[in-house]
Amino acid sequence: MSASSNRPHILTVAKLPPFLMEPLQASYEVHDRLHESDPAAFAKVAPLIRAVAGGGESKVPRALMDQLPALEMVSIMGVGYDGVDVAAALERRIPVTHTPGVLNDEVADLAIGLMLSVARRIPLADRYVRAGRWAKEGPMPLARKVTGARLGIVGLGRIGQAIASRAEAFGMSIAYTGRTAKAELAYTFYPSAQALAAQVDFLIVITPGGAGTRHLINAEVLKALGPEGYLINVARGSVVDEAALVDALQQGVIAGAALDVFEKEPHPSEALWVMDNVVLTPHMASATVQTRHAMANLAVNNLRAHFAGQALFTPVPEWH
């Protein structure tokens, strides 16, 4: 990796998968997390860095951008980009791109899978069989029906609408909350998460993360959801007050929860580990071979478009 190379220099800020790293390395001089591994070497190449590449959980703060005087763009492989200081980027007219659209189906599929898993107690049933308890103790306690139940969706963007379309196949009634009502959709709109939670059996959270939605799902919302209600989070861990959720589960304030994201990943509250009415997955909503490859391709194509002087494919909404 030569500092004198004519190829654009790129800094990666996360451990990226081979199917993203390989096309990056084929076209660019890639400095893989050099700011973390060798600050002295990073200081020498920082003036050459023209782009930053990262994943959905990556941190790209103002302090890092300030060290990159030649920075031209930030490409994120993920739909979420709340770790990027977008305001700092916009001040310097540095576009930020992400990879929406290509992961809608996968996240929606997992949201429905988590809802079914916690309601029908599928992971618990699996453990029940493996432990030999079926033969010793007989049938498991009865579970909760999903078909025909009331679903509330917090955030009815592209993924939220994909969840809703799947839920329709289960005969569920659908309501939602968000920043604004969507007049073109027939679903019932509620002005707040608390108002929505009071009217549904299952509450799926798929709103963006960031300061504006931090702890949007709090103790009051969980109380409104009630002792027969279930929470499913496929958004960001920051959207749910995890301490309040643990308390609500321990006290029977809600019936159960299924979580793909957590406040302090990869360290969910250990209190959640021992609960039979909780399903936990390791932030894997988009984690299929097909979708991650599509996300990587889009992240690379955004970079290529930028360096070719062409329109970006998927800049973040703030850039429009």
Residue-wise pLDDT for 68-110, tens only, equals 999 999 999 999 999 999 999 999 999 999 999 999 999 999 9
Measured CA to CA, the distance from residue 278 to residue 218 in angstroms comes to 17
Q: Do 18 and 115 belong to one domain?
A: no
Taking 3-state DSSP, the helix, strand and coil percentages for the chain, each rounded to the nearest 5, stand at: 40, 15, 45
Does residue 155 lie in a domain region? yes
Cβ neighbors of 244 (< 8 A, separation 6 or more) are 215, 218, 219, 222
Amino acid letter, residue 135: A
Q: Mind telling me the catalytic residues?
A: 236, 265, 283
Percent of the chain with pLDDT over 90: 96
Q: Do 203 and 125 belong to one domain?
A: yes
Q: Do 115 and 250 belong to one domain?
A: yes
* Confidence band of 319 (pLDDT split at 50, 70, 90): confident
Q: Do 157 and 48 belong to one domain?
A: no
Which CATH number characterizes residue 150's domain? 3.40.50.720
Q: What is the count of structural domains for the chain? A: 2
- Domain range for residue 250? 104-280
Cα torsion at 126, 128, 132, 138 (round to 10°)? -120
Residue-wise pLDDT for 98-148, tens only, equals 999 999 999 999 999 999 999 999 999 999 999 999 999 999 999 999 999
